[in-house]
Amino acid sequence: MQSQEQQAILTIALLAAIADNNTDDREREEIKRIAQSLDSEHGVDQLAGIYQDVLLKRTDVTRAAAALTDPELKRLAYEMAVCVCDADGASNATEKQFLQSLRTALSLDASQAATVENNSAALAAVPLDSAAAIPASPVAGTATPTRSEADLDKYVLNHAILTGALELLPQSFASMAIIPLQIKMVYRIGQSYGHELDRGHIKEFLATVGVGLTSQYVEQLGRKLLGGLLGTVAGGLGRGLGSAATGMAFSFATTYALGQLARRYYAGGRQMSPGVLKSTYQSLLGEARQLQGQNLAQIQQRARTINVSEIVELVKGA
C-alpha cells in the first residue's frame, strides 16, 4: 500500500468520524490526541495533518476516493467508513448520506457495499440482553453480586483476552466487535449488582472515563492501517502478531480497566464522582498493562481460534 493510498483511507475514516455533525468536544479532542499519538508512535506526520484538513474542510470524500484505484483498497476504505459510522450505534440519516456519497465516489459495487453495511449493522444492533440473563440482585446497589467475585474477575479477564485477540486479526470488521463487547461487559456487571442499564448510560459511563466510542474505533483502525495489518494487503495474522502488538495491548488494557472499574462503580451503588471514576480508571490501566504481558500467550492463542464469520454470534453470546 502506497503512502498516498494510506493517507486517502485515513482521510475517509476521519471524515466518517465527524460525518453526523454531532461529535461532541470530548470526542473531537480524543480523536485529535489519537492522531498526534499515532503519528509519534509510528514516526510519521500523517494523521494529525489529515485531521486538521478534515476539520478545516480542506479535503473531502471525492478527493480522497480519487487516490484509490485498487478495488480491494476501495472496499477496505468503505468498510472502515461504515464501521466508524456504526461505532456508536446504527448509522443515522446524516451518516447514511455520507456513506452514499462515498459509495458513489469510490464507484463501489452495490453488492459489495451491501455486504459490508449488513455485517456492520448486524453487529451494531446486537441487543444488550442477547445472552442468558444474569439474575439481578434483589436490591439495586447491593454490595454482593449474584456472581462470585472470582467469577466476575474471570469474566472481565476473558473479555480483555478476547478484545486483545480481535486486534491481532487483519480484518477491520474484527475491531468493530471490541466496543459492543465492552458495552455488554459493563451491562452484565451492572446487572449482576442489580442495575438494569441502557446503552445511553453505558456510553456516558465510557465517555466520562475518557473512552469514546467513535474515537476508540478510529484508534483501533489507525493502528492497524499504520502498522500494515489491515486486509489481504498485509499478509494476515502471522505478520500482524508483531505489528499489532501495541493495539492489542491497548484493547486488552482498556477492556480490563473498564471491567474492573464497573465492578467497583456498581458495587458501590453508582456513587463515584466523575473525577474519581477517571482517576480510578487510569490507575486500573496501569495494572492492566502488567497483566497483558502475563496473558500474551492466551491472547495469541485466542486470536487463532476466532472465526471472523461468526463474530456477530460471538458478541451475542458475550
Tens-digit pLDDT profile for residues 126-165: 888 865 544 444 444 445 667 788 899 999 999 999 999 9
- Percent above pLDDT 70 for the chain: 81
pLDDT of residue 65: 92
All cell numbers assigned to 52: 486538521
Closest of 80, 73, 69 to residue 214, by C-alpha? 80
The domain boundary residue, chosen from 92, 123, 154: 123
**Phi and psi of 118, rounded to 5°?**
-65, -40
* pLDDT at residue 93 greater than cutoff 90: no
* pLDDT at residue 100 greater than cutoff 50: yes
Contact 88, 180 (CB under 8 A): no
pLDDT of residue 309: 83
83 and 213 assigned to the same domain: no
163 and 115 assigned to the same domain: no
* pLDDT at residue 265 greater than cutoff 90: yes
pLDDT of residue 44: 60
Region 176-192 average pLDDT: 91
The domain boundary residue, chosen from 108, 123, 138: 123
- Dist. CA 261–CA 9, nearest whole Å: 35
Top pLDDT among 129 and 268 is at: 268
**Total number of domains in the chain:** 2
Which amino acid is residue 165, in one-letter code? A
pLDDT of residue 187: 93
Residue 43 — pLDDT band, cuts 50, 70, 90? low
The domain boundary residue, chosen from 78, 94, 123: 123
pLDDT of residue 244: 55
pLDDT of residue 216: 75
pLDDT of residue 25: 65
Closest of 10, 169, 4, 118 to residue 70, by C-alpha? 4
245 and 294 assigned to the same domain: yes
Q: What pTM did the predictor assign?
A: 0.79
All cell numbers assigned to 43: 514516526
166 and 278 assigned to the same domain: yes
Q: Can you give the residue range of the structural domain that contains 61?
A: 3-123
145 and 263 assigned to the same domain: yes
Top pLDDT among 279 and 244 is at: 279
Which amino acid is residue 253, in one-letter code? A
Helix (H, G, I), strand (E, B) or coil at 58: coil
200 and 69 assigned to the same domain: no
pLDDT of residue 140: 45
Domain containing 60 — which CATH number? 1.10.3680
pLDDT of residue 23: 61
Helix (H, G, I), strand (E, B) or coil at 317: coil
- Other C-beta atoms within 10 Å of 285: how many? 19
151 and 225 assigned to the same domain: yes
165 and 113 assigned to the same domain: no
Residue 233 — pLDDT band, cuts 50, 70, 90? very low
Residue 237 — pLDDT band, cuts 50, 70, 90? very low
pLDDT of residue 250: 83
- Dist. CA 111–CA 117, nearest whole Å: 10
212 and 107 assigned to the same domain: no
pLDDT of residue 7: 84
pLDDT of residue 247: 73
92 and 167 assigned to the same domain: no
173 and 199 assigned to the same domain: yes
Top pLDDT among 40 and 15 is at: 15
216 and 291 assigned to the same domain: yes
